[in-house]
Amino acid sequence: MEYKDQKIIPAIRNMKDFEIFLQSSYAYGVLLDVHIAQLKNIVNISKQHCKNLLLHVDLIHGLKNDEYATEYLCQSFKPYGLLSTKASVVLKAKQKGVLAIQRVFLIDSNALEKSYSLLEKTKPDVIEVLPGAMPNIIAEIHQRIQIPIFAGGFIRSIDDVNNALQAGAAAVTTSNKQLWKEFEQS
């Protein structure tokens, strides 16, 4: 399974990454580590290039990652989607009609069980599982919860991407530009 015909969702860490993303054939990308003052310009340029940004709310510098910030982002920027570890952000994003992505960190079995409880509460449109280089856990989550999964973190090779996709991930988020090139549609 692929997300909107993309195996890779580029994770954009800086303006150089953003320029590469704009020149790529990718329609969807995750914006990480951005200052609030840059956001309006980045979103406008993205829309001019017919790119759909998923804003990582937790990593927007100068903005608190809460439901008020979420409402502000939805009203002011109308992003394609919002990504967060915070339940309140995911719930508000769903309420505002943007793609709501719940990011979960799976460090041990206890974190996995807590994540299942969180996902039952938020019922996000997509789950981002970190680290993404755990195909067995991705397969378990995919089987247990029927929500599309993005796999991210520690994705270092073509095999990592393919293993995550074969385990049930809809796409892989990565800042590895070599993998962007490898999986880009021509």
CB atoms within 10 A of CB 183: 20
CATH class of 8-183: alpha beta
143 class by beta-carbon count within 10 Å (0-12 exposed, 13-18 middle, 19+ buried) = exposed
Biggest distance spanned by C-alpha atoms of the chain? 44
Strand-pair partners of 99: 81
Secondary structure of residue 104 in the 3-state scheme: strand
Q: Is residue 96 a contact partner of residue 74, using CB atoms and an 8 Å limit?
A: yes
User: What string of pLDDT tens digits covers the 186 residues of the chain?
Assistant: 578 899 999 999 999 999 999 999 999 999 999 999 999 999 999 999 999 999 999 999 999 999 999 999 999 999 999 999 999 999 999 999 999 999 999 999 999 999 999 999 999 999 999 999 999 999 999 999 999 999 999 999 999 999 999 999 999 999 999 999 999 975
Please give the model's pTM, rounded to 2 decimal places.
0.96
Domain residue ranges in the chain: 8-183
